[in-house]
Structure 1
Amino acid sequence: MIKSLRTPDERFQALPAWDYAPNYVDDLPGYQGLRMHYVDEGPKVGAPVFLCLHGEPSWAYLYRKMIPVFLDAGARVIAPDFFGFGRSDKPVEDEAYTFHFHRNAVKALIERLDLNDIGLVCQDWGGLIGLTLPMDYTDRFTRLIVMNTSIGIGQAAGPGFDAWRDYVANTPGFDVGKLMKRSTPGMSDAEAAAYNAPFPDDSYKAGVRRFPALVQTRPDMEGVDTGLAALDFWRNKWAGESFMAVGMQDPVLGPPAMAWLQKQIRNCPPAMEVVEAGHFVQEHGEAIARAALARFNLG
């Protein structure tokens, strides 16, 4: 059994703009004993699903400005926390965290909930993992909303990412909330505190430490073959609808990276440019969600 920590529930009380009931599953195949948290709102049958996947070092709270828009359109929203993040259990050993550890957990959740007519909503690691999923479920995924992310195919990510990876590796106790606030001008102290809520102390941050080290920036890294297969899928086989938004102030996964990704996704329209947004573009998510729904003729 994987040794893990569980953030006390009281850490998540009275968070701004976050009154969603928690849902848990603790017996996913291969993950017995680890409890995964997910938001599950909206109709349980007969409605399109938006599967919202967060990245590093955030959690489902990142989607608080998009979820209400999807719900108002009559959709169902599933927003899980990766293991190591949010209200999900947090393995304490760095070695527990691998690309396929995370990817297979999301696959198991999709199958457990028997999700269909899925719109993938992804950014950062939500995209590095999420963009590899539809090729395995071509009958389940129908839509894509993609923001400030990429596909891991073993290529260098540039000096900006290298500096971020080095910072995380050498700053074990960095303040997640402070990072989020610095990246999003106008974020309140209470919202920044919500991003710190999952981590009572540094022992809970193994997942935060590990994600940057797992990004596939060399061809010999785990997940590169999966990423290359996903790239072929998006170029040649994707038949669903797509919407892209880019936070223009992102120094790593901003306009150049997203221009490349847009060219890889079959029939992806030009990106919605969110001029004032940085990497965590969901902090401007209401307008993005509305524009995506209009693109999809939903709501």
Structure 2
Amino acid sequence: MTIQAIRTPEERFADIPDFDYPVHYVDDLPGYEGLRAAWVDAGPDDADRVFLCLHGEPSWSFLYRKMIPVFLESGARAVAPDFFGFGRSDKPTEAETYSFDFHRNYILALVERLDLKNITLVVQDWGGLIGLTLPVDEKFRARFSRLIVMNTGLGIGKTPSDGFIAWKNYAASTPDLPIGELIARGTPQMTDAEKAAYDAPFPSPDYKMGARRFPELVPIAPEMEGVEVSLKAAAFWKDDFDGASFMAVGDADPVLGPDVMNRLRENIRGCPEPMMVEGGGHFVQEWGEPIARAALKHFGDL
């Protein structure tokens, strides 16, 4: 089946600040033939460790620009994909194209294509909703070793917070989401150029189907797609995970803040006390350099 999609013109990305990393594209991933996927890939191809950085909604891989340099400083490789509907990846235009499995299977397929190994999984928001379920797949589990987790959760059929419901309702009623402005609201240090960079993938409302659709896909009811694999993931993190982990929490996040994250921490075997980022909003990667340094110091990488 052909998936209808549009592609952000390349010139929209001409003036992106502090994100000059090699961009790669592929349009023949199994199940996604004809859709162009994009990802940033920096550092040595033969590095001992790979940091797989999964962004959330409605951001893109640009969100990791303050963490990637620290990962590279440790001698590692950093891979930051753009989900379909975001960043430089193609943007399906029909709402029914978007589903939990559509995005989860894309990341699994990309990891297989790149043959990533010894992965440190770095997740926030939808990056966590998807990313935290990846170790349920045994092939991915064999490639995975550590976790950095920020302001996210598992979609186990429950509403995470009243703040999420307000966000979901707002997104559903706002076809032309002001994406740069939304991210800037909880990030007072953001410059106008950074705000424009978050807007860059979305020249018009036609490009924002993914941004509008994602809140509807969060598995908050037992019958929703993603709940079954999320429950399996919860069991893995609680009972079977034996790697190192690090948690950072933006304490000013009204959607996935300290209460939500403390519940998640209790379900991750061996997860230490979180690094609380005072004044940090939902997009806590905007405070990313000290978070990355603290994580790598915890792991013994720096």
Shared fold by TM > 0.5? yes
1:186-219 deviation per Cα after TM superposition (whole angstroms, max 9, x unaligned):
2111100000000010000010011000001110
What is the aligned-residue identity percentage?
61
Which sits farther off after the overlay, 154-163 or 259-268? 154-163
Structure 1 match to 2:268: 265
Verify the 8 A CA contact 2:47 2:77 in the aligned structure 1: no
Structure 1 match to 2:237: 234
Q: Which amino acid aligns with 1:182?
A: R
Partners of 1:194 and 1:176 lie apart in 2 by: 10
TM-score by length of 1: 0.99
1:223 to 2:229 alignment: no
Moved over 4 A (4+): none
Q: What is the CA-CA distance between 1:265 and the residue it aligns to?
A: 0.3
Partners of 1:243 and 1:129 lie apart in 2 by: 18
Structure 2 match to 1:188: 191
SS class of match (2:177): coil
Structure 1 match to 2:87: 86
Partners of 1:48 and 1:281 lie apart in 2 by: 23
Partners of 1:18 and 1:193 lie apart in 2 by: 13
Q: What is the CA-CA distance between 1:14 and the residue it aligns to?
A: 2.0
Structure 1 match to 2:133: 132
Query: Which runs of 5 or more residues in structure 2 are unaligned?
Result: none
Structure 2 match to 1:283: 286
Verify the 8 A CA contact 2:160 2:260 in the aligned structure 1: no
Q: What is the CA-CA distance between 1:297 and the residue it aligns to?
A: 0.8
Count the aligned residue pairs: 299
Structure 1 match to 2:259: 256
Structure 2 match to 1:296: 299
TM-score by length of 2: 0.98
Q: What is the CA-CA distance between 1:94 and the residue it aligns to?
A: 0.7
1:41-71 deviation per Cα after TM superposition (whole angstroms, max 9, x unaligned):
0011142000000000000000000000000
Structure 2 match to 1:76: 77
Partners of 1:278 and 1:200 lie apart in 2 by: 25
Structure 1 match to 2:164: 161
Q: Which amino acid aligns with 2:181?
A: K
Structure 1 match to 2:30: 29
Q: What is the CA-CA distance between 1:157 and the residue it aligns to?
A: 2.2
Partners of 2:18 and 2:82 lie apart in 1 by: 17
1:201 to 2:197 alignment: no
Structure 2 match to 1:57: 58
Partners of 1:158 and 1:26 lie apart in 2 by: 37
Q: What is the CA-CA distance between 1:266 and the residue it aligns to?
A: 0.4
Query: Which runs of 5 or more residues in structure 1 are unaligned?
Result: none
SS class of match (2:264): helix
